Amino acid sequence: MSTPLLPGATIGIIGGGQLGRMLAMAAARLGYQTIILEPQADCPAAQVATRQIVAAYDDAQALEELARDCAVVTYEFENVPVGAAVSLAHKVAVYPPARALEVAQDRLVEKTTLNAMGIATADFVAVDSDADLAAGLETFDGNGVLKTRRLGYDGKGQRLFRDAKPSDAAGVHASMGNVPLILEAFVPFEREVSVIAARGMDGSVVAYDPAENVHLQGILHTSTVPATASAETLAQARAAASAIAAGLDYVGVIGVEFFVLGDGSIVTNEIAPRVHNSGHWTEAACAVSQFEQHIRAVAGLPLGNPRRHSDCVMENLIGDDIARVASLMAEPDLVMHLYGKAEARAGRKMGHFTRLKR
């Protein structure tokens, strides 16, 4: 795609959750139409998009329709089948590139790729058997986090080991489904931060101020800006995110999560080749949100200024938290965003709000 998309062009979005919804809203503000590819007919994104193709993400006919009717295709989550992205890319521009999906979908590939770029991560070992796990536990002094290499998010697909003996590995691989696993050493971090960065088609990169994140039961609870860390540490995080985007020949918004150690150094936890929950604060505290920034990038438009105009705290509304909405909306300087989900369930993200600090 050599020239920016003109208003009225159509952008395809694979995935119909809340991230797809907010991307579709941002696209509409810039004059674009959107088509959502999502198997769930009543998905949140379809409520605000131009239309929806109700089909599996790898349905050949649906992908053909998406390629035919869209000028560019993007996605809202990292578990889009890589084959579908590669197939689409032969017919229509797809951003971020399929390579980013390949890296992000496998935690072992992700960490190996980041290390090759000179980006520090937790120490890790591949686990394909109980024997591998036993050896890894011995290497890491009995401590570590065992994760599925693929899938798993918000704390799912993980098992914690503390002061474990090699014999504690017996039966674990089978209990986790006999799938490829990765054991990561504990990182003695003081806080978690994330950087939302964007890279344009011309290679330009902008990054929002890092957010400090707090998780509860494996799910993001709050993101606070500015983060409590030194200027040098935050600059390291921005530089790492920019290097990762360049190394992947990336186009679009990327989220990069970091651990901050006691000496101020950083260790990269994971990347997300998409808009990110910890960047939702940007819609309230910046002139250009992460969602508009992503649409700008994939449409070939100039990237916007990521500067924030307010300090803020973003908080997720999980499950029954939806009952708090009316009372929260009575607060001044609070920006509410609900996702259009009909049913509140434990652990389900129903919306978020951002408190601006004046």
Binding region for ATP:
107, 147, 152-158, 184-187, 192, 215, 269-270
Q: Which residues line the annotated binding site?
A: 107, 147, 152-158, 184-187, 192, 215, 269-270
In our burial notation (b when 16+ CB lie closer than 10 A, e otherwise), range 331-344 reads eeeebebebebeee
Three-state DSSP at 245 gives helix
Q: Which position has the token pair 């150094």?
A: 265
Give one word for 201, left, alpha or beta, with left for phi > 0 and alpha for psi -120 to 50.
alpha
> Percentage helix, strand, coil, to 5, in the chain?
30, 30, 40
CA nearest neighbour of 329 among 342, 317, 341, 318: 317
Q: Which H helix or E strand runs over 61? A: helix 60-69
Give the Cβ contact number of residue 269 at 10 Å: 18
Residue 121 CB contacts under 8 Å (≥ 6 apart), including other chains: 111, 114, 115, 267, 268, 269
Residue 167 CB contacts under 8 Å (≥ 6 apart), including other chains: 134
- Tokens at residue 244, please? 């990762």
CA nearest neighbour of 250 among 208, 197, 293, 289: 197
For the chain, the straight-line distance linking the first and the last C-alpha, in angstroms and rounded, comes to: 42
CA nearest neighbour of 235 among 265, 255, 214: 265
The residues with which 225 forms a beta bridge, in sequence order, are 312
Can you list the pairs that 272-276 forms with residues at least 24 positions away whose Cβ atoms lie under 8 Å?
272/78, 272/104, 273/78, 273/96, 273/100, 273/101, 273/103, 273/104, 273/248, 274/19, 274/75, 274/76, 274/77, 274/78, 274/96, 275/19, 275/22, 275/23, 275/76, 275/196, 276/194, 276/196
